[in-house]
Structure 1
Amino acid sequence: MTPDITKLIIPELIVGLGNPEPKYDKTRHNIGFDAVDELAQVWQMPLKENKRFQGLFAEGVAPGGQKIRLIKPLTYMNRSGQSVRAAVDWYKLQPQSILVIYDDMDLPVGKLRMRLSGSAGGHNGMKSIIAHLGSQDFPRLRIGIGKSDGKKETISHVLGKFTPTENQVINEILSTAVKAIEFSFKQGLEKSMSRYNSFAVNIDQVD
């Protein structure tokens, strides 16, 4: 019998979801954009407009020598799949080598969660990507934005901005997301999931 060698799942394309207009900057729904901005800054990979991919794009070498590409689709959220499909086709990537970062109301602020596959969970950007790839078997990293407090409609909540206290938590979570992704380059996404899915920043602990 041949030994069972499990191939590590390591990202080659990282996609952050958001909406492109300035009025959406730093809103909860744009946390995917913020995460890619953080990666681009830490890895010193400036994002530039790429018409082929309909987004802001960067390509370079991440820590550990991993060749990586970053993209922020400028198509608006519900057409994000157009941008992702263009990059996937150009680089001939498998869905398993894509990591999509986006906001999740079902997770509290201060939590992140990685999965290797799954449904869109009602997220329009993810619906678009699944439709354009014809598959939901690609990794994703969800960042918690918390639920509405009941006084606001859901749309007002996701398009609203974080409170100053929440922003401190988000800054720490974005730094943690970078660490989780860098860890996946060395040991694969599954081990990164085991290590970081239980991580939490408690909003009460933030000064």
Structure 2
Amino acid sequence: MADNTWLVVGLGNPGAQYAGNRHNVGQMAVDELAARIGATFKSHKTPSRVAEGFLRPGGPKLVLAKSNSYMNTSGGPVSALLKFYGLDVDKLIVVHDELDLPFDTVKLKRGGGHGGHNGLRDIQKAADSAEFTRVRVGIGRPPGRQDPADFVLKDFSGIERQALPNLLSDAADAVEAIVDEGLVAAQQRFHSPS
């Protein structure tokens, strides 16, 4: 596969009942990217749905993917996609929900721990590496004493849903910046105070 191909995986759970959950914000962001590049998700030889296209004519190729398995078992499908496309983890971008960031925040990083995120934990194990790039989409902490596991499986609130299109646009912009400009330049853009 060409050096200019990137695998962008949006984490989430399959099925309509999970589609609006906070835990599925990664899949929502890759939906935004697919719309931008005019690509449609289709069944794939791996246990995922895939949409392929180019960031712009002659530009980097994006392989956008949403696993058919549940969040906690994301590793197998991601590993299968890396093998299918002949890509190393340095060409993998994982877009996922992040409890430790306030809602409506996007941060970028490469490597590091999984921070209790079972989807990331499973990918690290299956890929035998944590050295992939992450687009961390802030969903904030649950209110009061609500269990974080329950919180991530709830849909965004009405107020959050009003801001969600901008958040998804920012997450998609972050992926494009990583692919076009590199991680450090993208971090400077997204991490600097506005």
**TMscore range, shorter length:** over 0.9
Which of residues 128, 145, 148 is equivalent to 2:122?
A: 128
Query: Which residue among 144, 150, 165 is the counterpart of 1:150?
Result: 144
Q: Could you tell me whether the CA contact under 8 Å between 1:60 and 1:67 is conserved in 2? A: yes
Aligned to 2:52, which of 46, 59, 66? 59
CA distance in 1, matches of 2:92, 2:67: 14
Q: Distance in 1 between matches of 2:193 and 2:107?
A: 9
After TM superposition, the score normalised by the length of structure 2 is: 0.92
Q: Distance in 1 between matches of 2:39 and 2:191?
A: 26
Q: How far does residue 62 in structure 1 lie from its aligned partner after superposition?
A: 1.3
Maintained 8 Å contact 1:103/1:143? yes
Report the Cα distance in structure 1 between the residues aligned to 2:180 and 2:98, rounded to whole angstroms.
Answer: 26
Classify 1:199/1:83 alpha carbon distance in 2 versus 1 (closer, same or farther; 3 Å): farther
Contact (CA 8 Å) 1:106, 1:146: kept in 2 or not? yes
Q: Which residue is 1:32 aligned to?
A: 26
Q: Alignment length, in residue pairs?
A: 191
The structure having more radius of gyration, on CA atoms, is 1
Q: Structure 2 counterpart of 1:123, which letter?
A: H
Q: Is residue 111–residue 199 contact of structure 1 (8 Å, CA) maintained in 2? A: no
Contact 2:5 2:61 in 1 (8 A): no
Task: Pick from 163, 167, 170 the counterpart of residue 173 of structure 1.
Answer: 167
Q: CA deviation at 1:79?
A: 1.0
Contact 1:109 1:169 in 2 (8 A): no
Structure 2 residue identity aligned to 1:80: S
Distance 1:169 1:81, change over 3 A: same
**Aligned equivalents of 1:158 and 1:11: distance in 2?**
31
Equivalence for 1:188: 182
Cα shift at 1:61: 1.0
The 1-side partners of 2:4 and 2:109 are apart by 13
Q: 1:28 to 1:198 in 2, by over 3 A?
A: farther
1:109 alignment partner, SS class:
coil
Partner Cα separation in structure 1 for residue 120 and residue 4 of structure 2: 20
Secondary structure at the counterpart of residue 103 of structure 2: coil
Please give the secondary structure, in 1, of the residue aligned with 2:74: helix
CA–CA distance in structure 1, aligned partners of residues 78 and 99 of structure 2: 23
Matched, 1:161 2:164: no
- Give the deviation of 1:168 after TM superposition: 2.0
Once residues 157 and 38 of structure 1 are traced to their aligned partners in structure 2, the CA distance between those partners, rounded to angstroms, is 23
User: TM (normalized to structure 1)?
Assistant: 0.87
Q: Is 1:75 paired with 2:65?
A: no
Shift of 1:151: 4.1
CA contact (8 A) 1:104 1:142 kept: yes
Aligned position for 1:3: none
> What corresponds to 1:89 in structure 2?
83
